[in-house]
Chain A
Amino acid sequence: MPRYVASRVIMALITTLGVATIVFVAMRLVPGGFAGALLGPNAVQNPEVVAAIEEKYGLDKPVIVQYGLWLRNAVQGDLGESLRTRSSVTSEIVRRSLVTVELTLLATLMSLLLGVPAGVVAALRRNSVADTVTRSVSLIGLSIPDFVLGTVLIYFVSTRGIGLPISGYVSITEDLSGHFRSMVLPTLTLGLVTTSVVMRVIRSSVVEVLGEAYVVTARAKGLHPRVVALRHVVRAGLIPTVTIVGINMGYLLGGAVIVEELFSLPGLGRYALTGILNRDYPVAQGAVIVGALMFVLANLAADVAYAYLDPRIKY
């Protein structure tokens, strides 16, 4: 077990390094060059500022040295400063990540609360009405992209006079109920697809477990069907939930860009998007790296949790 965890951690580190490398290469390809990207068109006219940035990143040295310096700065938490506001990208990211993390957690919560029971019921009563409904709902849910759903939700809420905020963010310290009301539509928009994924995966996983020999044995020895279902089937059938939550994180972090933009939430995704549209390269670079990192970490956590839950995994 410790060996397995160690190997997963090493893999995650390698992946992270790969992510950083890709972003590093991408930033070198930015029109106007790396110094221009970090300084902006105005500051790049000033030779002293340019000298300072060349010193910091060793821009006259071989690329591999530049890579090392860039990486060192990033690892130390120095992601540069915004070209627009001159504020530290790192501190902005820390602040905004909280909004994004909360949004993804709420969407995950929604997908588990709705998706797991629906998937289990559908699997235990295969081909019943409940099963058909669950499968149709999840297929339709998978097919409505978040940006379409969000736009339509905003339209209905604003034209039907439903009392939910369609835009803006209320801080949790400021107004607790107002905060959660402002998160309702974003959570619904972001959570629909993951809820559908959870329904499908849980259903097929429980169906698979139903065919296992030990379930047949439990039934054959005369256990009450409910006991078999709860103790033998559902417990084992729920294990993939962990993996699916990890995989869904990738979708959720990407979807957060759209949902935050749509509902004007000050999260990481919107930060990245504004950074790109304003050609604020340090902002864009930092937000993309941190977003990818969050995904790597979520998957690492899911892998480790899976290994704890499924005793068959031994490395």
Chain B
Amino acid sequence: MAVSDGVSARGASAATTAEETVRDTSPTRGTIPGGDSGGATLATADLRERRHTSTLRRFVRASPLGTVSALFLLAGIAIALLGPFLGTGDPEALSPLAMFSSPSADLPMGGDYLGRSVLARLVSGLRVSLALAAVSALMAATAGTFLGLVAGYFGGTLDELVMRLTDVLFAFPTILLGLLMAVVLEPGVRGVVLTIIIATIPVFARVARGPTLAVRATEYTTAARVVGASPARILFRYVLPNVSTPLLVQLAFTLSGALIAEGALSFLGLGVQPPRPSLGSLLRDGKTYMEIAPWTMLFPGLTLALAILAVNLLGDELQSFTDPRLRRR
């Protein structure tokens, strides 16, 4: 549940996790339709390709809302990546005449307190925010999944240790963690990245561990072990594919949590520092001048909310698409 603790990303996410841990007793949870056991030998590259396409097609057919969100997100990512080539102008160019100018043909989103183009800064800020959120979420997801797999598979003291550690980390609401990071490091990007990573690792460790326990007990895992497969091979070849579905859903919620965390910390002045734009620092700047130039605050706020909405929607739709028990509802 990454929705808002991520900052709060975690609130929502946390709720999801809680729900999931309650339900996770079912051994079938998270297994890919069709299973992986027999498929491994049969699946040539070609077959795998076809299966992949049909899953994508089924998702598009089953969930128009999820598809729209995914397209919207892709568009946002494209805008962020192509930013410098879109002709939205230089985000740092000052023009005193455009100071606080309201949106016009020239400056579609108006000018800020230094006369910089709000649109140009928004595009540039979107890139910073998306990159920060995506990179830290992915790193944390990888590390957390690895921890959860290893803890769940080997069990014993290691498992106990990892789970107690996640308990402790869960005791820090994301923002509080961000505050702690800002105490130790200077307020800045490093603190934001570390905060997101530390807040996310325990979530993935837990999500990965549950199904790993179930998969560990299956006959095909035992068979692999009997044949002499190494733990690493068993984990990555048999266990990981079978736990990947809940992890994918969690990744979506984590991403929205990371976006909120970056926004909140930068908004508080503990994250991305001006003059560098990010959605959070733009909003912080805009807040100061909201009565003279509301567009400097409304556009970044709206962009952030829409981005988070799209990620949450996609996560929701993925979840009900991949969990057959939710599909009935």
Most buried by A among B174, B316, B329: B329
Assess the B164–A251 pair: CB atoms within 8 A: no
A57 at the interface (CB under 8 A from B): no
With A26-B184, A146-B8 known to touch, is A244 a contact of B164 (CB < 8 Å)? no
B10 at the interface (CB under 8 A from A): yes
Q: Are B168 and A145 in contact (CB under 8 A)?
A: no
Scoring A147, A159, A207 by chain B CB atoms within 10 A of each residue's CB, the highest score goes to A147
**Are B7 and A255 in contact (CB-based, < 8 A)?**
yes
CB-defined interface of A190-216 with B at 8 Å, one 1/0 digit per residue? 000110110011001001000000000
Given A139-B312, A151-B297, decide whether A18 and B168 contact each other with a Cβ distance below 8 A.
Answer: yes
Q: Shortest Cβ distance from B33 into chain A, in angstroms?
A: 22
- Please tell me if the beta carbons of B180 and A26 are within 8 angstroms of each other in the complex: yes
Chain A binder among B141-149, B203-211, B260-268: B260-268
Q: Which residues does chain A contribute within 8 Å of B313, judged by CB atoms?
A: 139
Q: Which of B14, B184, B256, B287 contacts A251 (CB 8 A)?
A: B14
A272 CB within 8 Å of chain B: yes
**Which of the 9-residue segments B88-96, B217-225, B238-246, B298-306 touches chain A?**
B298-306
Contact in complex: A277, B269 (CB < 8 Å)? yes
How many B residues have CB within 8 A of the partner chain?
58
B18 close to A22 (CB less than 8 A): no
Question: Is B183 in contact with A250, judged by CB distance below 8 angstroms?
Answer: no
Chain A residue with the shortest CB-CB distance to B3: A142
Do B4 and A288 have beta carbons less than 8 Å apart? Answer: no
Instruction: Summarize B's interface: helix, strand, loop or mixed.
Output: helix
Asked if B15 and A18 make an inter-chain contact with CB atoms under 8 angstroms apart, the answer reads no
B-contacting 9-mer, from A76-84, A177-185, A219-227, A291-299: A291-299
Whether A15 contacts B308 in the complex (CB less than 8 A), given A145-B7, A257-B179, comes out as: no
CB distance from B256 to the nearest CB of A (A): 7
Most buried by A among B179, B183, B308: B183
Contact with B along A249-265 (1 / 0, CB 8 A): 01101110110010000
> Do residues A254 and B184 form an inter-chain contact, with CB atoms below 8 A?
no
B280 to A, closest residue via Cβ: A147
Binary flags per residue of B242-253, CB closer than 8 Å to A gives 1, else 0: 000000000000
Query: Is there an interface contact between A142 and B298, defined as CB atoms closer than 8 Å?
Result: no
Report which of A204, A243, A251, A273 forms a contact with B4, defined as CB distance below 8 A: A251
Q: What is the bound-complex CA distance between A196 and B14, given in angstroms?
A: 13
Closest chain B CB from A238 CB (angstroms): 15
**B176 and A193: CB pair below 8 A?**
no
Q: A14-B164, A18-B164, A272-B179 are in contact. Are A258 and B11 (CB under 8 A)?
A: no
A27 to B185, CA, bound (A): 11
Partner of B263, one of A145, A159, A257: A145
Residue B109 at the chain A interface, CB threshold 8 Å:
no
A308 CB-CB contact with B under 8 Å: no
Asked whether B174 lies within 8 Å of A254 as measured between CB atoms, the reply is yes
Residues 1-41 of A, flagged 1 when their CB comes within 8 A of B and 0 if not, give 00000000001001110110011001101100000000000
Question: B278-301, CB under 8 A of A: which get 1 and which 0?
Answer: 001001001100110010011001
Binary interface encoding of chain B residues 139-179 relative to chain A, with 1 for a CB under 8 A from any of its CBs, else 0? 00000000000000000000000001101101111111001
Known A148-B301, A276-B270: A197·B171 in contact at CB below 8 Å: no
Complex: chain A residue closest to B290, CB-CB: A155
Cα–Cα distance between A254 and B291 once the two chains are bound (Å):
27
**Can you list 16 residue pairs at the A/B interface with Cβ under 8 Å?**
A15-B171, A18-B171, A22-B180, A145-B8, A145-B304, A151-B301, A154-B290, A193-B4, A244-B15, A248-B15, A258-B267, A277-B269, A287-B179, A295-B171, A295-B172, A296-B171
B residues neighboring A (CB under 8 Å): 1, 3-5, 7-8, 10-12, 14-15, 18-19, 22, 164-165, 167-168, 170-176, 179-180, 182-184, 187, 256, 260, 263-264, 267-270, 280, 283, 286-287, 290-291, 294, 297-298, 301, 304-306, 308-309, 312-313, 316, 329
Interface residues of A (CB under 8 A from B): 11, 14-16, 18-19, 22-23, 26-27, 29-30, 126, 139-140, 142-148, 151-152, 154-155, 158-159, 193-194, 196-197, 200-201, 204, 207, 240, 243-244, 247-248, 250-251, 253-255, 257-258, 261, 269, 272-273, 276-277, 281, 284-285, 287-288, 291-292, 295-296
New contact pairs (16) apart from A30-B183, A148-B263, CB-CB < 8 Å: A15-B168, A16-B171, A18-B168, A144-B308, A145-B308, A194-B11, A201-B15, A247-B11, A247-B18, A248-B15, A254-B174, A273-B179, A284-B183, A287-B179, A288-B180, A295-B171
Q: Which 5 A-B pairs have the closest CB atoms?
A: A18-B168, A254-B175, A251-B11, A143-B309, A254-B173
